[in-house]
Amino acid sequence: MPIVLIADDEPNIRRMVGALLSGEGYEVAETASGVEAVARVKEGEPDVALVDLMMPGELDGMATLGRLRDVAPDLPVIMMSGRAGLADAVKATKLGAFNFLEKPLTPEGVLLAVSSALELRQTRRVARALRAELGFGGQMVGKSEAMNTVRQMIARVAPSDARVLITGESGTGKELVASAIHDASPRREKPFVRVNCAAIPRDLVESEMFGHERGAFTGATQTRIGRFELAHRGTLFLDEVGDLGPDAQAKLLRAIEAKEIQRVGGNRIIRTDVRIISATNHDLQRAVRAGTFREDLYFRLQVIPLAIPPLRERGDDIFELVEHFSEQFLQRSGQAKPRWRSDALQLLRDYPWPGNVRELANIVERLAILHPGAEITGQKVEDVLIVDRDEEEPVTTPTRAQARVGAESAAHGPVSLADKLDSFERTVIARALAEASGNVADAARRLQTDRPNLYRRMKRLGINVTRV
């Protein structure tokens, strides 16, 4: 039975509206002040809230609306008032009110508003479930200091329309952060549209971003709506923006500055209202210095920089993530979750995770499939990690400098974390190059990166492709 909260200081209004809704099968909760309304929502979130605009006390209607948006972002709030003007209605809508009813209330108006709000509520639940199933449900796991910093940054930047540039290694969850920013923003009810810039062929970037008219080019058999139009009044997430070519960068810059686009083959100017969030695992500052990324576009995108920490810097978050991914496996498969012994968890905690959270999710799922409902020991984890390491044995002779580092490490004690990570990265790249028969472009595709980035890493690590 849907629950409707009525917050109004007039007892007659609460009684009449409550009787109307009860007669239609709703469960009704009543409060006489904004403070009480917020407290009731914290105790147990209703499905819809009806809030009077002119309530006396510490929180008036507008303040109550703002607090409710903070404590229950998905709760549809219907404002009511008999003395409000157009400015009040506009302000309430901007603050996130679902509807605005003028007093005296009519039974038809109240029932229509409540039923529409319930439909919205259900739509949000379905959308959230679908997004979680697709892998970007907005839930960030972990209580480490690094993740708390990310959450605080999201809370600060989400209410604005500022463009955000999310940086971090592959697999750290940049899309999850972008989705969380959108979900906490005033645009949360509008589309969240993702573009994988690395996956678009260069000659189709303009069509993908801005759309095209029928007959604009060979194969354009019908009009296509571009991503900018699809994201109108919502958020456009440009993933792997560092992989855009020079022509695409110029067109993107113009679209951002002018806030308007033009479909390929069309002559009509289309105004767009889009918030841009972009992400990359490249060093764009270095790309700007190298001349491969436009400096003006870089500054347009990075109004707010947001760096995502790699998993190896998140400490005990790994334990929570293991439980989270185990629970996801249970929900997807219906099989019992494995039980993780402390030695197994410690091995996962100590592993460097070059693939970050994505790699951890794969390892947890692999072990859950191989040992459903069983106890996961340290040996079982070691077996999986050893298999991965065996598959990544070096296939190139170390340089003299590398051999010298190895000899000095053996002579002087443990190797530093940076040296261990470099060694691991060197192994992964060498293996990819061997599988690609020395073809750097093919190896870059296997490693899901671009060729210039792979060349830079090879140069830094002293890898000579002719030796692979």
Q: Which residues contact 373 (CB under 8 A, 6 or more apart)?
A: 335, 336, 337, 338, 339
Instruction: Tell which CATH architecture fits domain 312-391.
Output: Orthogonal Bundle (1.10)
* Backbone dihedral angles phi then psi of residue 194, each to the nearest 5 degrees: -105, 140
Fold match between domain 312-391 and domain 400-467? no
Q: Is domain 3-128 classified as CATH 3.40.50.2300?
A: yes
- Helices (H), strands (E): how many in the chain? 20, 16
Domain ranges of the chain: 3-128, 156-308, 312-391, 400-467
> Taking the model in full, what pTM does it have?
0.60
Q: Is domain 156-308 classified as CATH 3.40.50.1400?
A: no
* Backbone dihedral angles phi then psi of residue 49, each to the nearest 5 degrees: -125, 130
Closest to 173 measured CA to CA, from 139, 131, 126: 139
Q: Is the dihedral of CA 174, 175, 180, 182 positive or negative?
A: positive
Q: Which residues contact 384 (CB under 8 A, 6 or more apart)?
A: 363, 366, 367
Protein fold of 400-467: Arc Repressor Mutant, subunit A (1.10.10)
- Report H helices in 72-192: 86-94, 107-134, 145-157, 174-183
**CA count, 13 A, side-chain hemisphere, 99:** 18
Token pair of 467, please?
A: 């030796």
**pLDDT tens string for the chain (468 positions)?**
789 999 999 999 999 999 999 999 999 999 999 999 999 999 888 999 999 998 888 899 999 998 998 888 788 999 998 876 777 878 888 788 889 898 889 999 999 999 999 988 887 776 666 555 544 445 688 889 989 999 999 999 999 999 999 999 988 989 999 999 998 898 887 888 899 988 888 778 888 899 888 888 877 778 888 899 889 989 999 999 999 989 889 999 999 999 998 888 888 888 999 999 999 999 999 999 999 999 999 999 999 999 999 999 998 899 999 998 898 888 777 788 889 999 999 999 988 888 899 889 989 999 998 888 899 998 999 888 754 444 443 334 344 334 444 444 444 445 567 777 877 888 888 888 877 777 888 888 888 888 878 888 888 887 865 444
Tell me the residue type at 463.
I
